[in-house]
Chain A
Amino acid sequence: MGKTFKTIDEAVIRFAGDSGDGMQLTGGRFTETTAIVGNDLSTLPDFPAEIRAPAGSLAGVSAFQIRFSSKDIHTPGHRPDVLVSMNPAALKVHQKEIIPGGTIIANTDAFTKKNLNFAGYENNPIEDGTLDDYFTVIPIEMNKMVKAACEGIDLSPKLVARTKNLFALGVLFYMYDRPLDATEKWLRKKFKGKDAIIEANTKALNAGYNYGDTTELFTTRYKVEKAVLPKGTYRNINGNYATSLGLLAASERSGLDIFYGGYPITPASDILHTLASWKHFGVQTFQAEDEIAGIMSIIGASFAGKLGVTATSGPGIALKGEAMGLAVITELPMVIINVQRGGPSTGLPTKTEQSDLNQAFYGRNGEAPMPIIAPSTPGDCFLAAYEACKIAIKYMTPVFYLSDGYLANGSEPWKIPQIKDLDPIEVKFSDKPNEGDSFLPYKRDDKTLSRPWALPGTPGLEHRLGGIEKEENTGHVNYDPDNHHRMTELRKEKIARVASDIGKTKIYGDSKGDLLILGWGGTYGACRSSAETLREENYKVSHVQLRWINPFPSDLKSILSNFKNVLIPEINMGQLIKLIRSEFLVDAKGLNLVRGKPIGAPVITEKVKEILG
């Protein structure tokens, strides 16, 4: 039977299996190839907190979703068209989300009685017909297939069985007409020196592809044409890597070497790993004994003239609270990164959430304001991190950078910027007294209210910083009530002035209308997609995604006043909405879902329609 090609706009594929099945790797490879093919794409890795939950258990299911398209897309999609299910548990967890009429590709070798029981199935759903009314089920004996493909290779049966994820990848490459060479090249690099492993995986990959070609189970192949993206050179990028690159670019443009001090924590650790591999760029990384030492070390490094950076997640920020206050009162530049995860407490370490906005705003004793920036897409993490460094240095302040698990691990095609085109970052260390013969460490710049940065080692500028209230200008310990009030005001005003460095707010859609979707951070894609859908249906809906949350952009007030309704979707119980309501007296409505997953565009669209009647 001949195969027909069908051209489609987009597809959503989800790879799901046991933690040990290599699903993240498989998804990653499909993503790289899809990026090279030129589709727009968006990914959503979803893995358990346990490194290896019991094999075959529901808790141990790890998944990776990719949506790819010939159009400009903003989210990893909601319901998959194709589910690759490497075991019964994966099917059990994900089956309810497959779109009706979708395809299930199952590794039937893993559908043993034991695994079926473990997943809570009484009968084998692949065989009992229960799925056939709703889905196209493609059963493949993947373990047997890879065993046959790898015959003659000197590898243990266990290692041969491990190549089944490459087999599944090959099948998907066949279905969506993707080349194998990038993956083959990657295998050769990844397993350099382990020829048998390279050979086995390459054979499994090709076997999967050829299986698709020869079997009659696949009658149709799909083509997703290249997306029309703006001109330029692209690469695929995830948020944590983009954040690291943004920091490094700021280091190069400012001439300050990075000092990173931090403690490992999911989902922020990859920033530490990446920076640690960039020693040839002069990056110093210090894995401290705890979260507190992490931030304290960067306060010390910043005092000594480095670009201080720490990255953590909510629990780590909780521990850093007192030190953040010290950074605020000593007015030293640094970037404090929170890659948010589900809370409270340990919460959902590997899942995404936006519930640390209050913590970023208020999580310190005393009046301790800090600028807060939140990147909106994985690629945007680059510029947001760069901007965070720029503002930290210009205003001599710690800057709070709020990423999240979805941005950190999700990826998208990213147009590679030119470093030379980025805003310059000017650094001015003090080298002489600034008041007659004296040096006043808290004498402020008229425009930015920033104080001078004088490094230990500079003759004649010896001074002491500390956590006790400072006397204006001199920085001496001071308990005077009027001085304290004045210094509190100055610290607040300094952060407010950051607004002059925030450009005009970008509005998607008209500047007036019936409803504004106001999002922040990682909900960008869903908010934007929803606004696009609604505008196609002639709703007078626009979208603004806030990047700077403290201070708010100066034009936000007038923008809000031009809409009859404001909807604020957040992955928390309503944190931005309280700030907006109290700051602008706007009767905004909330859409709040805390499921450890990104909010989907359809939910927002539905809510907008409900509000607009």
Chain B
Amino acid sequence: MKIPRLLQAILVLGGVYGGFVLVFDVILEQVIPSSLLNMYMFFVVAGTYMVFTFSEESTEQIVSPIKALVEDPSKKMLRNVVFVLLPLFFGWFTYQQIKPSFEAPLELRTIHPAPPAAVKVFGKRYNLLTLENPFRKFEKEDPEKFASLVREGGDVYVKNCQYCHGDKLDGQGPYAQGLSPVPLNFQDVGTIAQLQEGYLFWRIATGGPGLPKEATPWLSAMPVWEDFLTEDEIWKVILFLYDYTGYQPRSWEHE
């Protein structure tokens, strides 16, 4: 039996929605955020509409049962039922969307705010547009020295950073779950892999309080490391972050 066209469209939409939930929430165990799922479904609906209405025949098959429901005298009972249920459904849906809740409002937090052009730390002024890691050059010039600097950076990390950012640099340190927002996961391709070393220097040296207003609400618990580490220690730990994760800092020059 051929499935009516309108039902096909409804099944496609239901199938895609269920598919998203099944794949992400159940199989991959990484929930798909409702904000994203809504956006996805909006355009899945648009795509489905396009496929089912670009030809006259198909449009007719989609529209005719709806027209019949509204106009056909023999469908009076069904029409009455639908006309009662539909407003009730939308009423219920609207109520669900707007009813008061204790849930904190959603945040559009800027995790990587733009850095200032320059920053004052360690009693000096650094131009972040041109700032480079002074130890980076040893990667090629003196690999042994570089490896030793990375090790020193690792020591700094273990003593100071791993409690929050984790011993695998994945943001899963012992204290991580006590913080909101949780510490950054440096293994994620969207964090340090996208940034220049000067940016990391700024973020580490000035910590949460050094975030610009753009990044509000800045709930970051990141300490102001300028008060606890030396300039060299910060540069070394930056070397370690990139070395451990295997990423290269953002740069505009080819190797």
Do A and B pair up? The answer is no
* B-to-A contact residues, CB < 8 Å: none
